[in-house]
Structure 1
């Protein structure tokens, strides 16, 4: 059976526009409505009637569950909170921020008391306790991130695997045969889903391209600078002529500082590409090519999906955002092959 994402793609509109057209909550142009209706008929799309009945009562509020822990990287997380708030306001919604470390308590409270129309779930862990709760409550939930068990959930995330594979391809195509990954803190590989996805995609793609590959971490929040420097020194010392960075902004700066201290230039001596950065890599001391994690794109998509679920068109699926490449001249052929 077709889902609302397929209808939106066939009609050439956003998910929320399809939802508005089918629910009658907002007006759409006659031409847009015609395209949507044709797509619905062609794809035989059937909305969920039970969810549509629940859509009659609105609070115009989204809950945003974002547990704040000691190891939370505040700049990244606040970028998503801001992006979610901006996306919500575009649709006349406000955001109720839930920050309890035991996040399911607040989530259950707002769902039980019907304080919100939908719940946006941030900082998703592989074995996130909010997954089971989302399956139990009637309030629609959209995960900005993908837990290991995503069955029956609505999730949206950057396609980290595709972004990482494309980064490795750029380095392979430039002629690099030995590359390194400066990854996140070791704890991130246990508490988050996306760092392991990046690491696995890096190793898999490097092997497919016949490249030697090494990886290391950048330490915890307080030690990221020194750990990133040590990892960069270790990887280049093992022969890596190119690095993929999947770290916080501070660690990016530390890698650049370590290379400069060792007399290694970017990209003449070491090529670098950043994957999954939520900050602008063009503002670093040396601008870096990147496949960024755009908080606004993720949150715009999540709000679209939440509105669709409220209006009775929920799609239990993982919606991956196509990565975009931002070149800044930090990739070149290895020094020995440069002309």
Structure 2
């Protein structure tokens, strides 16, 4: 393990100067700080977590680890970012956005230079590398999402399995036996994004319990993907009498337009349901019954958890939010 002595030697400064640079207790020249930062990066030095806590220096900056993938939906991504910024600003904090696909480099860099007081991470996967990293660095961190190994990690998320179960039960109650699902791009599944896995598990379990058939289509990130997914479902030999949307807003809007172009009335001919929507389903051209993602509560909770851990007044726990179903008249009984 690299020591502070090695950093000092590589930077050509004293150990105390490196300590001052890390803690912020004394001002040092820009040139000296740049030499120290360069030595830290090149050597891969990680400050001792206990030493950082003893230093007690605050930066009033939170890092937001928000990797954006090629198949990600930027408006949804930025809604999360905006809510984290809002929650941080209300607590007199600025936010440093870490948006590289490499999810660990940015966290390691800002932690090694004591640039931030904590980290909020989104876009969580089953085997998320950031979990082991924040543990090893001793960084105050909170995840918007629940990784597979969440022990000792602060997490907050919607109960996606319950959201899927509620969607299926609502449709089954009105006699629907074949239910279509238009989902996020399949890359979300390939990356093992945990919200997708939990939703799909809940969907399968609820369908098996009710004895109904689920038919999937995946709306990739391309113009017309929602319409194509709707056509694929409705042109099947046994078309669904209801469709659950678990995808981003443009795909839902395209699918709604295609349903109308095909001369189908909602909900008389086809029931539609929005599950864990990151948008307002009530503001669509066809307002949808469904469950909206409690984005503001999720982001606020994550910011509070990270700051609580930083201040030593909170424990690393997992908080799962209960879904709330709102009926807007887009679901009806099968005729």
TM band (smaller chain)? 0.7 to 0.9
Q: Which residue of 2 aligns with 1:224?
A: 225
1:213-252 deviation line (CA, Å, top 9, x unaligned): 22221123456334423343246x5232111110111110
Is 1:105 the counterpart of 2:125 in the alignment? Answer: no
| Structure 1 residue aligned with 2:203 | 202
For residues 252 and 329 of structure 1, the distance between their equivalents in structure 2, rounded to whole angstroms, comes to 16
- Mapped to 1, the partners of 2:62 and 2:185 lie a distance apart of 31
Deviation of the 1:291 alpha carbon: 0.6
Pair 182,71 (structure 1): closer, same or farther in 2 beyond 3 Å: closer
Structure 1 residue 88: Cα displacement? 0.7
Mean CA deviation greater in 212-221 or 263-272: 212-221
Separation in 2, partners of 1:261, 1:232? 15
Runs (5+) with no aligned partner, structure 2: 1-49
Q: 1:310 aligns to what?
A: 310
Partner of 2:94: 94
The answer on whether the counterparts of 1:226 and 1:254 sit within 8 Å (CA) in structure 2 is yes
Q: CA deviation at 1:70?
A: 2.4
Q: Distance in 2 between matches of 1:238 and 1:221?
A: 26
- Residue 314 of structure 1 and its aligned partner are, at CA, apart by 4.2
Seen in structure 2, the aligned counterparts of structure 1 residues 141 and 222 have a Cα distance that, compared at 3 Å, is farther
Q: Residues 258 and 222 (structure 1 numbering): CA distance in 2 closer, same or farther, change over 3 Å?
A: closer
Q: Distance in 2 between matches of 1:231 and 1:157?
A: 31
Q: Hey, what does 2:277 align to over in structure 1?
A: 277
**Structure-1-length-normalised TM-score:** 0.78
Q: How far apart are residue 198 of structure 1 and its match?
A: 1.3
* Local SS of the residue matching 2:104: helix
Alpha-carbon contact 2:165-2:202 (below 8 Å) kept:
yes
Q: CA deviation at 1:174?
A: 1.9
In the superposition, relative to structure 1, how do residues 154 and 270 fare at CA in structure 2: closer, same or farther (>3 Å)? Answer: same
Where do 1:51-130 residues align within 5 Å? 56-130=56-130
Please say if residues 289 and 326 of structure 2, whose CA atoms lie closer than 8 Å, have aligned partners that are also in contact: yes
Equivalent-residue separation in structure 2 for 1:90 and 1:283 (angstroms)? 28
The structural deviation recorded for 1:51 is 11
2:215 corresponds to: 214
2-side partners of 1:84 and 1:55: how far apart?
26
| Contact kept in structure 2, 1:53 and 1:312, CA below 8 Å | no
For the residue of structure 1 that corresponds to 2:186, the secondary structure is coil
- In structure 1, how many angstroms separate the alpha carbons of the residues matched to 2:197 and 2:54? 38
Aligned to 1:276, what secondary structure does the other structure show? strand
Equivalents in 1 of 2:185, 2:175: separation in Å? 29
Q: Secondary structure at the match of 2:299?
A: helix
Count of matched residue pairs: 285
* Residues 14-63 of structure 1: per-residue CA shift (max 9 Å, x gap): xxxxxxxxxxxxxxxxxxxxxxxxxxxxxxxxxxxx79955943211110
Is the contact between residue 305 and residue 316 of structure 2 (CA under 8 Å) also seen in structure 1?
no
- 2-structure distance, mates of 1:277, 1:54: 43
Shift of 1:190: 1.4
**What is the alpha-carbon distance in structure 1 between the residues aligned to residue 55 and residue 165 of structure 2?**
41
Give the aligned CA root-mean-square deviation in angstroms: 2.1
The answer (yes or no) to whether the contact 2:185–2:218 under 8 Å persists in 1 is: yes
SS at match of 1:267: coil
Q: CA deviation at 1:280?
A: 0.9
Report which structure shows greater RCO (CA 8 Å, sep ≥6). Answer: 1
In the other structure, the counterpart of 1:148 is 148
Report the counterpart of residue 251 of structure 1 in structure 2.
251
**How do 1:318-329 residues align onto structure 2 when only pairs under 5 Å count?**
318-329=318-329
Misfit runs of 4+, over 3 Å = 50-56, 220-223
Matched with 1:22 is none
Aligned to 1:256, the other structure's residue is in SS state helix
Provide the rounded CA distance (Å) in 2 between the counterparts of 1:102 and 1:210.
42
